[in-house]
């Protein structure tokens, strides 16, 4: 049974630590991933990195689909030890938020498309091609594993009042 975990916020030091590589794909990791998915959905967010639930391991979950585009159905990813393997070089600006930095959004330049290399929850190698918002979400989440927050990269950070559109609430 998955359980909700508490999302840590700045300035919690776990958010600034470089997370450890995962080598044990046993029950603890399986519980962590299930809990992260539950916590991401409940928030709600489109991604979550393990340091955000106070676990310094290289694990991310992402769930995203384009509501206006049936070609991009909602899909759930859990990636262990993710890395950006290949990129187009082309960049785009976009608005990001973060569950660990409530009340702020920022304009961040990201690679337009990326290939993510890592392992699935069973330890098997995976490769994911992503572009647009999905690529942005992966880059935001992988940054968390290196202790990097969107506010470090943003050209402009704005305080927001009230509800923020879910599309920009990354994680």
Query: Is residue 29 within 8 Å of 156, Cβ to Cβ?
Result: no
Residue 141 annotated as catalytic = yes
Residue closest to Co ion, measured at CB: 98
Touching Co ion, residues 61-120 (CB under 5 A) = 98
* Nearest-approach distance from CB 70 to Co ion, in angstroms: 28
- Residue 171 as a binder of Co ion (CB under 5 A): the answer is yes
* Nearest-approach distance from CB 140 to Co ion, in angstroms: 6
Indicate the DSSP class of residue 51. Answer: G
The span from the CA of 97 to the CA of 107, in Å, is 9
The span from the CA of 72 to the CA of 85, in Å, is 22
Instruction: Tell me whether residue 115 or residue 151 sits nearer to Co ion (CB atom).
Output: 151
The span from the CA of 136 to the CA of 170, in Å, is 9
* Nearest-approach distance from CB 171 to Co ion, in angstroms: 4
Instruction: Tell me whether residue 53 or residue 98 sits nearer to Co ion (CB atom).
Output: 98
Size of the site for Co ion (CB under 5 A): 2
Instruction: Tell me whether residue 23 or residue 103 sits nearer to Co ion (CB atom).
Output: 103
Touching Co ion, residues 140-169 (CB under 5 A) = none
Instruction: Tell me whether residue 124 or residue 155 sits nearer to Co ion (CB atom).
Output: 155
Touching Co ion, residues 18-37 (CB under 5 A) = none
Out of 141, 161, 163, 165, pick the active-site residue: 141
| Distances, alpha carbon 23 to alpha carbons 51, 82, 84, 116, in Å | 17, 13, 19, 18
Among 27, 26, 24, 16, smallest CA distance to 49 is for 16
* Nearest-approach distance from CB 82 to Co ion, in angstroms: 14
Go through 144-157 and write b for each residue having 16 or more CB atoms within 10 A of its CB, e for each that does not: bbebbbbeebbeee
Residues annotated as part of the active site? 141
Instruction: List residues near Co ion by CB under 5 A.
Output: 98, 171
């Amino acid at each position: 049974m998955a359980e909700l975990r508490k999302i840590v916020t700045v300035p919690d030091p776990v958010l600034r630590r470089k997370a450890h590589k995962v080598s044990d794909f046993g029950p603890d990791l399986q519980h962590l991933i299930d809990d992260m998915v539950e916590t991401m959905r409940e928030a709600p967010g489109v991604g979550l990195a393990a340091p955000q639930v106070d676990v310094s391991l290289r694990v991310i979950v992402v769930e995203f689909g384009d509501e206006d585009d049936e070609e991009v159905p909602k899909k759930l990813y859990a990636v262990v030890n993710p890395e950006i393997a290949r990129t187009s070089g082309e960049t785009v600006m976009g608005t990001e938020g973060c569950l660990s930095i409530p009340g702020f959004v920022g304009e961040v330049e990201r690679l337009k498309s990326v290939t993510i290399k890592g392992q699935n929850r069973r330890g098997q190698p995976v490769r994911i091609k992503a572009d647009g918002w999905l690529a942005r979400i992966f880059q935001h989440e992988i940054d968390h594993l290196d202790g990097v927050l969107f506010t470090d990269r943003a050209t402009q950070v704005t305080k927001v009042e009230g509800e923020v559109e879910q599309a920009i609430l990354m994680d």
